[in-house]
Chain A
Amino acid sequence: MTNPGGKDGGASRPEAMIELKDLTKRFPGQKQNAIDGLTLEIPTGEIVIFVGPSGSGKTTTLRMINRLIEPTSGRIILEGDDVTSVNPDKLRRRMGYVIQQVGLFPHLTIAENIATVPKLLRWKRDRINTRVEELLDMVGMEPATYAKRYPKELSGGQRQRVGVARAMAADPPVILMDEPFSAIDPITRGRLQNEFLQLQTQIRKTIVFVTHDIDEAIKMGDRIAILDDRSHIAQFDTPETILSAPANAFVEDFIGSGASLKRLNLTRVTDVPLVDWPTANVSADRESIRERLLRSDKGSVLLLDDEHRPVRWVNAGDLDRSDEPLLETGLSATPAIEQQATLFDSLNEMLNSLQGAAAVVDQEGAYKGVIDIETIGAAIRTMRGEARQRYRGEEEQQTGGLESREEPES
């Protein structure tokens, strides 16, 4: 019962993959509802994040979507079908599920773990094998190396990748993820988040993702539902709007201070224009480098090695100190910023390097351009403007658009 194109729904609003209607849960022996009348539409192909303090019911809500916890009342609609009372095992095969501690079966190999659902669906052996290899490739793990290993032999990050592959094995339209990256060290977590977002641009699944970490929510979410006590929705909107126009004091409090800084997590280096910086090869002679420096308005030259990888920033003073080799003067230009990194990462790197700018590289590590404080300032101004426009636009709709549009601009 999908209506293609969403003709009558308005082109800008994608049709809902999952609809939760007045979902309520009361656990036996409890005086008040754990989840209290939650109504929410989860649009097709988007990442929707449930975020909230502990006890807000976000995990309970997630488990009600695939009915690991049965709702006391309310309805769950999946792709237009009411699935509130269908066979839960069949329902769950339409929804991949990634849990916090992964839950890979310890007695099965990686390949067998990924193959659990295809086996359940009685796929032919060849088809299963092909699919397992495809999925391992997709999550960036070499099938020949990892297929025969046991979960114990993998790192936490690798197990999480396998968990994602297992959830996607039978290509379900929906994937539920319950704090999937929370038990992983910050560096690996950041990398997995980036890879997952990259993957999502290809697979375009409808993803419901639970986290308690607002920064993760901002980074991962197309839309964020900020849940208050008993899964009351405090705000359900895009990260940009939540950051620039928190709906109430609870949301404001939950975002915490530094909303502007957090907004930098929303923009990736690929989204902003890079600055053209004077560069030179490390083996170039000092005079030609000085010449290049004088011809530009920047205070320094970025030295690149033979593979075009950024090495050091040197300024006029560094060039004057002829007693020291060029590679030991100036400031280090490593680590450089990858293009998938956010402006937040870039700003962090700039502050660490004292240079006030950071070199951006492609996947092979070759120089692509430079990002500086100016770039970031401009990005912040743009975001603020966009968010304000959107916020005003919504208010106009709510208060009757025509009237406010007729008001003369001063």
Chain B
Amino acid sequence: MSVLAAFDWSFIWEQRSELAHGLVKTLEVSAIGIAGAFAIGVALGAARAHRIPVVSQLAAVYVEVIRNTPILVQIFLLFYGLPQLTPYLRFEPFTTAWLAVMIWGGAFNTENYRAGFGAVPYRYREASLALGFTPLRTFFSVTLPIGSRIALPSSINTYISVLKNTALMTAIGFPELTNVARSIAAVTFRDAEMIVVIAIVYLAVVWSLSIVIRFVERRLALPEEA
């Protein structure tokens, strides 16, 4: 408590607009990353669950590479490694930021959705095919809605991690919340204040995100789960 008491709160207040700017960048990158991770998860999760040749094997390699390397290394590879290979793959920090969290989240989400689609009881697909749905329509009308609900709790964890991982973009100098706070601290030597304040902001954001998602989850809850 004494630490907090020693804080200069008016200083933090003065930095509010700059911090808000960083927060907006964090949210932008997260939003794109989460949307992308969702799309990758559904597409590759389906390919994995239905064992679609070639795509399924490639997806498996992708998931293994991403899961077994630190995300920081992945960010550096994107930002510093790719331009070495070809100058056409030189990305802005912003592009690198959302691309990195999207690729990372997509890999974890592929696993979430693979498990979700795999857990859809066969009788639902059988009923759907027997009613005259094409295999594609069966996927969109039955496997996707039921499997997504099964995958929802684990994919929510992935989305929350995507948001938190945006903090690592400070390593490539992208001005998101953490980076902004560190820059302010660097010139003002108020490290403690800045670190605590962004911790609180992250906590608040992730918490509200969780509340929203839990609400959605309850609305979507699978009505037959007895």
Interface residues in chain A, defined as those with a beta carbon under 8 Å from any beta carbon in chain B: 66, 68, 89-93, 95, 97, 99-107, 116-117, 120, 150-153, 166, 176
Segment from B54-62, B127-135, B193-201 that makes contact with A: B127-135
Query: Are B223 and A93 neighbours in the complex by a CB distance under 8 Å?
Result: no
Query: Closest approach, in angstroms, between the C-beta of B3 and any C-beta of chain A?
Result: 50
Query: Closest approach, in angstroms, between the C-beta of A168 and any C-beta of chain B?
Result: 12
In this assembly, does B1 line the interface, its C-beta being within 8 Å of a C-beta of chain A?
no
Bound complex: CA A155 to CA B37 (Å): 39
Known interface pairs A92-B132, A120-B131. Does A103 touch B123 (Cβ–Cβ under 8 Å)? yes
Closest 7 CB pairs of A and B: A106-B224, A103-B127, A97-B130, A150-B223, A93-B132, A92-B132, A103-B123
Bound complex: CA A87 to CA B95 (Å): 46
Query: Closest approach, in angstroms, between the C-beta of B102 and any C-beta of chain A?
Result: 28
Bound complex: CA A251 to CA B222 (Å): 45
Contact of B146 among A90, A92, A100, A106 (CB under 8 A): A106
9 extra A-B contacts, CB within 8 A, seeds A66-B130, A106-B225: A91-B132, A92-B129, A97-B130, A99-B126, A99-B130, A100-B123, A106-B222, A116-B131, A152-B224
Query: Are B132 and A117 neighbours in the complex by a CB distance under 8 Å?
Result: yes
Query: Closest approach, in angstroms, between the C-beta of A174 and any C-beta of chain B?
Result: 12
> Among residues 16 to 73 in chain B, which have CB atoms less than 8 Å away from a CB atom of chain A?
none
Contact of A92 among B124, B130, B145, B224 (CB under 8 A): B130
Query: Are A107 and B132 neighbours in the complex by a CB distance under 8 Å?
Result: no
A-B contact pairs, 11 of them (CB 8 A): A92-B130, A102-B127, A103-B126, A103-B127, A105-B128, A105-B142, A107-B146, A107-B223, A120-B137, A166-B131, A176-B130
Bound complex: CA A101 to CA B130 (Å): 14
In this assembly, does B187 line the interface, its C-beta being within 8 Å of a C-beta of chain A?
no
Q: Please, which residues of chain A bring their CB within 8 A of the CB of B5?
A: none
Q: Please, which residues of chain A bring their CB within 8 A of the CB of B146?
A: 105-107
Bound complex: CA A312 to CA B17 (Å): 90
Measured as residues with beta carbon below 8 angstroms from the partner, the interface class of chain B is: 20 to 34
Query: Closest approach, in angstroms, between the C-beta of A186 and any C-beta of chain B?
Result: 22
Bound complex: CA A68 to CA B132 (Å): 10
Q: Please, which residues of chain B bring their CB within 8 A of the CB of A90?
A: 132
Query: Are A107 and B149 neighbours in the complex by a CB distance under 8 Å?
Result: yes
Known interface pairs A68-B126, A99-B123, A101-B123. Does A106 touch B223 (Cβ–Cβ under 8 Å)? yes
Q: Please, which residues of chain A bring their CB within 8 A of the CB of B186?
A: none
Bound complex: CA A142 to CA B130 (Å): 26
Question: C-beta contact mask, B135-149 vs A, less than 8 Å → 1, else 0?
Answer: 001000110011001
Bound complex: CA A97 to CA B124 (Å): 12
In this assembly, does B226 line the interface, its C-beta being within 8 Å of a C-beta of chain A?
yes
Known interface pairs A101-B123, A106-B146. Does A92 touch B223 (Cβ–Cβ under 8 Å)? no
Bound complex: CA A296 to CA B169 (Å): 101
Q: Please, which residues of chain B bring their CB within 8 A of the CB of A105?
A: 124, 127-128, 141-142, 146
Q: Please, which residues of chain B bring their CB within 8 A of the CB of A153?
A: 223
Question: Which residue of A has the minimal Cβ distance to B138?
Answer: A89
Query: Are B133 and A120 neighbours in the complex by a CB distance under 8 Å?
Result: yes
Query: Closest approach, in angstroms, between the C-beta of B95 and any C-beta of chain A?
Result: 37
Bound complex: CA A207 to CA B133 (Å): 21
Question: Which residue of A has the minimal Cβ distance to B134?
Answer: A89
